[in-house]
Amino acid sequence: MSAFDRLADLVSRVAEVPLETITPNSNLEQLDIDSLALVELSLRVNSDFGITVEDGDIQASDTVGSIAQFIDSKLPADLTQGASLPQ
């Protein structure tokens, strides 16, 4: 499963919106992600992807696609080139 697919699933659960409505161009603000939900999303990204997300790394104005690219940039190279992401 790609970083985008896993992130979209997380966003779907945090924002309580159907997964099929989330695209790479979906903006977190448009999905009604408020500041508290943004903290929850950041914590879940930390936990689910095994990376460190600092305060401010994920903004409400970000798109799901840009966050997925950010996650890919934080993952070891072998995980972004087809190996399985941590579950």
Return per-residue pLDDT of the chain as tens, 87 residues: 899 999 999 999 999 999 999 999 999 999 999 999 999 999 999 999 999 988 789 998 899 999 999 999 998 865 544 444 545
DSSP secondary structure code for residue 83 in this structure: S
For the chain, domains (ranges, CATH) are 3-80 (1.10.1200.10)
- The pairs formed by 38-45 with CB atoms below 8 angstroms and a separation of 24 or more are 40/14, 41/10, 41/11, 41/14, 44/10, 44/14, 45/7, 45/10, 45/71
Q: Is the pTM of this model over 0.85?
A: no
